[in-house]
Amino acid sequence: MRTGSTVEMWGQKWDDPLQHLRTDQQALFQYIDEENEHADAYFKRTRNLTKSLFKEMNDFLRVEVTPRPVPDVADGWEYWSETTPRGPVHYRRRQFSKDPRELVLDASRISGTLKKVGLSPNHQFIAYDVEATGNEWGTLCVHEIGSKDPPAQVENVRAFSFEWVDDETVAYTVCNDQLRPDRVMVGKWREPVEKHTTVHVDPVAFIDVSKTKDKRFVTINCNTLESSEVFVIDTQAPLDPPRLIQAREDGVQYYVDHHTSQFYTLTSADGAEDFKLVTAPTATPSRPYWRDEQVPLPGDKIEDVDLFADHVVMYVKRGGASAVQVRDVQGETAGAVHDVPLPPGTTVQPGINMDYHVSSVRMTFQHPYAHSSIFDYDMKKRRLIPRQIQPLPVKEFDASEYDITRVWVTSRDELGRIPVTLLHKKGICMEPMLRLDTLPLLKRGWIVAIAHVRGGSELGRQWHADGKLLVKKNTFHDVIDVAEFLCQQGFSQPDLMTATGTSAGAMAIAAAALYRPDLFRSIVLHSPFVDVLTSMLDKSLPLTQTEFLKWGNPQESAAVFNLIADYSPYEQLRRLCASDTVSSTALPALLVTSGLRDQRTPAWQVAKFVGMWRHVLARTERTGARDLVSTCATDGGHFGNDELGQSGRLEDMAEEVSFLLDQVSGTHMKLLSVMDAEARKALGDGNALAKIAGLLKAKI
């Protein structure tokens, strides 16, 4: 148990000297102010570089011709958004009409962050959720399109998700104090919340609500990390109690949609670790009536399904890469399945497909060397139709000079082959997407390696299971093994190896860097989950109880307690501070970014980690000490500050890239000066730089 700053459990006892930062707000704010002042002083040193990088990344966004918005079609209406300096503005008009556009919603005039948006069945009203900065729940609002009246609000509830039941009725989930949406309420949106009815409460699961593609049912989806339970509300009988599809079973997940007279269910039942698609009659939707419709091939994982009147679209991961399959469900070809021809290196995201009775599906293609592009796929004619393609400006970044390579790294236990995606200039030698912060590094000859380590989901459920609970250390070992591979193959070397991660990915980078500080020159951690033991010992913290299935419960298991105490980055640092010896191995240079309003990795936990890192630096031989820079945005949440706008986000990216360049620049120049002339001539200066500079990103 934890009493104040003392941890005593399973025969162990120690003092946590920085735990007071949780309760002493004055001390926390003072600490954050001091760290922010130190960060300001550091970035003054790199001010010119940061300004140059900001301009460079801003130029990547410049387009010669602004592309026309691609409308999304629903029930005879075309909807689209236009970007303004104040924010997006949403419009519509009747399909095939030349009528003037009609304003639907001006998001720039809304105070807060606009999240989910949903149209009423008759398209007369629009509902939306508005979150205060940093919060993960918001206020549900309903606005009549074309009206100048202020929107109605569902007041005094923490709304998380919502769905229209009919034109007058909404179903929505409500968050509890642990940020878990634990109940569903249904009511007339014009009426006060006191008249709304709670139709379902779940003691452990995350609940969200959605609607089947044919609009027949609202689904109440109750999910944990390991199992599912789904109820449905019949929109033709909205006052009837929700109907259970299938009672929860340990280890079985399922997701439901509806098509004409049957339910389509994506499930992991019957040992289908990478999910299969089954059907059952509307009247008897439970598991005894499930019939296999699509069982994936070995190595395939069905991640998402979209239903249309004549087709089923399945979004698949195949060996970690994107694939899309179309299954015919009507006519002579019913049951036939074909693959959509995708461009190489493309990551596919489902588009907005609101219409059910159409023969084309919209998808978004993402590529590390281009802006997102929009394609429609004609499922009958089997051809891709480009709707919006926006390459990077060739003057700023010529994509033809760069390549993508996948390599496989054998894990130390020889139980896994870790896929690693390398972004690099041509001539050197999973899920890459365009990231502006990597382009300046690539232009300067760096190699960017994306490690798809165990604990992630790219290679299926078993790959995820192999990096959690009592085998969680596989994740950190994989990061280390990939870093060693990159050095052994000559892609980088320890003095030039940098790494970055976010949230749990940041924890993986931090843990690996503390296990093997000799492998990394610098690391960047965004909203890092680094005080793992403190979090998992405190059930009052948001998400702790639901995360027991991922990390384990240290209060119930000595093995779990000892394992988390071993790998938790904060505990690693605490042990270094308690050691009687002064460290001779330099810790990597460190940049940490966090938000004071973060509800997942609270600022006091990040402050504890940074403070303990500083204590270790104070005990490190002076010649080995490297920079530690920590910034905490007072208005930031776990995912940053949505109100910063594009310019603010670019400034943050520019500071991060300037930090990485600043940390390796001295070593770069030294190594380049001693390279023999033959090697430089053979590789070319740019490729020589790439040979020794690398950025490793952990994807979990």
What's the token pair of residue 407? Answer: 């390599």
Instruction: Please list, in sequence order, all residues whose beta carbon lies within 8 angstroms of the beta carbon of residue 493, skipping any fewer than 6 positions away.
Output: 487, 692
Instruction: Please give the pLDDT value at position 679.
Output: 28
Please give the pLDDT value at position 667.
47
Contact between 607 and 31 under an 8 Å Cβ cutoff? The reply is yes
Among 65-69, 183-187, 263-267, the range scoring the smallest mean pLDDT is 65-69
Q: Read off the pLDDT band of 676 (50, 70, 90).
A: very low
pLDDT of 480 reads 95
Give pLDDT, residue 489. 87
Q: How confident is the model at residue 450 (pLDDT cuts 50, 70, 90)?
A: confident
Highest mean pLDDT among 110-114, 322-326, 489-493, 668-672: 322-326
- How far is it, in rounded angstroms, from Cα 53 to Cα 441? 10
Rounded Cα distance between 185 and 200, Å, is 7
Residue-level pLDDT at 432: 55
Share of the chain above pLDDT 90, in %: 56
What pLDDT does residue 697 have?
67
pLDDT, position 691: 35
Q: Write out the two tokens for 237.
A: 């009988």
Residue in the structure block whose two tokens are 């704010």: 29
Q: Is the pLDDT of residue 524 over 90?
A: yes
pLDDT tens digits, one per residue of 106-151: 988 888 778 789 999 999 999 999 887 667 788 899 999 999 898 9
Q: Are strands 87-94 and 125-131 parallel, antiparallel or unpaired?
A: unpaired
pLDDT-derived band of residue 625, with 50, 70 and 90 as boundaries? low
Mean pLDDT calculated for residue range 215-223 = 97
Q: Supply 78's token pair.
A: 């075309």
pLDDT at 682: 29
pLDDT at 280 over 90: yes
Which two structure tokens, joined as six digits, stand for 372? Answer: 């997102």
Q: Are 211 and 172 in contact (CB under 8 A)?
A: no
The counts of H helices and E strands in the chain are 14, 38
Q: For all residues of the chain together, what is the average pLDDT?
A: 86
Q: In sequence order, what are the residues at sequence separation of 6 or more whose Cβ sits closer than 8 angstroms to the Cβ of residue 371?
A: 390, 391, 392, 434
pLDDT band at 645 (very low <50, low <70, confident <90, very high): low
The pTM of this model reads 0.82
Which letter, b or e, does each residue of 166-201 get, where b requires 16 or more Cβ atoms within 10 Å of its Cβ? eeebbbbbbbeeebbbbbbbbbebeeebeebeebbe
- Give strand ranges (E) for 167-299: 169-175, 181-188, 197-201, 206-211, 217-223, 228-234, 243-246, 254-259, 262-267, 276-281, 291-294
d(CA 313, CA 375): 14
pLDDT digits (tens, 9 = 90+) for 534-573: 999 998 887 888 889 899 999 999 999 999 999 999 999 9
Q: Per residue in 80-90, is it b (16+ CB within 10 Å) or e — as a string? A: bbeeeeebebb
pLDDT at 338 over 70: yes
Least confident piece of the model among 87-96, 110-119, 217-226, 396-405: 396-405
User: Is pLDDT of 486 > 70?
Assistant: yes
Give the full edge-to-edge strand order of the sheet including 102-106: 72-74, 77-84, 87-94, 102-106
* Residue 644: band (very low, low, confident or very high) from pLDDT cuts 50, 70, 90: low
At 1, is the pLDDT very low, low, confident or very high (cuts 50, 70, 90)?
A: very low
Give CA 278 to chain center in angstroms. Answer: 28
Which among 435, 355, 352 has a CA at the least distance from the CA of 397? 435
Q: How far is it, in rounded angstroms, from Cα 120 to Cα 170?
A: 9
DSSP 8-class letter at 352:
-
Condensed to tens digits (0 to 9), the pLDDT of residues 286-295 reads 999 999 999 9
Domain definitions of the chain by residue range: 400-470, 532-567
Quick one: pLDDT band at residue 43, thresholds 50, 70, 90?
very high
Confidence of residue 386 (pLDDT cuts 50, 70, 90): very high
Confidence of residue 169 (pLDDT cuts 50, 70, 90): very high
